[in-house]
Structure 1
Amino acid sequence: MLFQGCSAQAGKGDSQAVAALVNSGNFSFRAERATPTNYDVINVMNSLPNTTSTRILDLSGSNYSIDVRKDKLDVALPYFGRVFNPTYGNTREAGYRFTTKDFTVSQSAGRKGKNIVKIKVNDQSTVDEITIEVFKNGRAFTSIRSNDRQPISYDGYITKNEEPKEKPQPE
């Protein structure tokens, strides 16, 4: 199972394949770790028994991701930190979970051959901009700038989008 998960990382180690995947505009960011910036969250994490003094939360084994397609953006990421305008009773709003078709993507070259993808979301009140820094080996660092929350960042990797499964047609 572990080998299958590693092989699913498109372009891991192949810088040309990674660049082609990002340039295609159809890729997924799979989150493996979250790094909150809120010291209240960090203090709570440090007070738990058998924990080390770290502010990184392990998300491996989960299905947290950002799926970028030319016509649609799907975001499903957890959030740990302070929310300035909470919505009560709606647990769906607890993290970043939305699908939109109203977004713009811009790309630029960074230092040491990395690609920087900036996604401006136009129809979400909580998210202003998502920045994904893609390294040559397929690893990625994502940060989300929000209008009503403290910043958070994620580490993970880039992979090909999974093709949507077609529903069987009734006979």
Structure 2
Amino acid sequence: MMKTIRNILALASLFIAMQVNAQTDKETTVKVINNQNFVFNATSAMPMANYEVNKVLSRLPGGGGSGVIQLSGSQYELIVTKDSVIAYLPYYGRAYTATMNPDDSGIKFKSKDFTYKADKKKKGSWVINLKFKDAKDVQSMTLNVSENGYASLNVNSNNKQPISFNGYLSEPKEKKK
């Protein structure tokens, strides 16, 4: 039941995101997915709706309790390469175990032991599944990507409620030598 609701929310947010102008062209989207070398740039977060979370969200500036938190101007991202996944994302929602280290808040990790599976769907969209064996808290992530590079990211954790992010894919920036 929860998975169905989460999938419906992800699809709805993907269709809303696709109404805006394209972030990347189709060729770039295909290239970065096939090369397993891209950055997911998060623009909004959608925690699983429950009474406690909605109560907190309604008190945030600009948060009408709708459940969507805008992340504009932030540098929250998920970097995917052939040999690693680096996550630097916020977390809003219920955690079932508390962390004693404030640096462990959010969804922050670097994984070298993971599986990557990209499936092309009808009409040029993609579903990318990431499963982690060495991430302490995160079990898996699913990216639903439009042909124009818009994406929704669903994160499933061991100790936290699931959360979704909207954003877009981009090519990684070249590191200066």
Change (3 A) 1:25 1:50: closer
In the other structure, the counterpart of 1:4 is: none
Who is 2:157 aligned against?
Answer: 146
Report if aligned partners of 2:43, 2:167 keep a CA contact under 8 Å in 1.
yes
Give the TM-score normalised by the residue count of structure 1.
Answer: 0.84
How far off is 1:124 after superposition? 1.4
The normalised TM-score by structure 2 is 0.81
Q: Does 1:110 align with 2:121?
A: yes
In the alignment, which of 99, 102, 107 is matched to residue 96 of structure 1?
A: 107
RMSD: 1.7
Distance 1:60 1:117, change over 3 A: same
User: What is the CA–CA distance in structure 2 between the aligned matches of 1:149 and 1:50, rounded to whole Å?
Assistant: 24
Q: 1:51 to 1:74 in 2, by over 3 A?
A: closer
Per the TM alignment, residue 49 of structure 1 is displaced from its structure 2 partner at its CA by: 6.5
In the alignment, is residue 135 of structure 1 matched against residue 146 of structure 2?
yes
Aligned with 1:120 (options 119, 122, 131) = 131
Partner of 1:78: 90
**Structure 1: which 4+ aligned runs deviate by more than 3 Å?**
47-51
Q: Report which of the two structures shows the higher radius of gyration computed on alpha carbons.
A: 1
Unaligned runs of 5+ in 1: 1-10, 167-171
Determine the C-alpha separation between the residues in 2 that align with 1:145 and 1:120: 10
Q: Which has the higher helix share?
A: 2
- The aligned counterpart of 1:160 is 171
Q: Is the 8 A contact 1:12 1:18 kept in 2?
A: no
1:72 shift after superposition: 1.4
What runs of 5+ residues in structure 2 fail to find an aligned partner?
1-21
Change beyond 3 A, Cα 1:14–1:125: same
Q: How many residues align?
A: 155
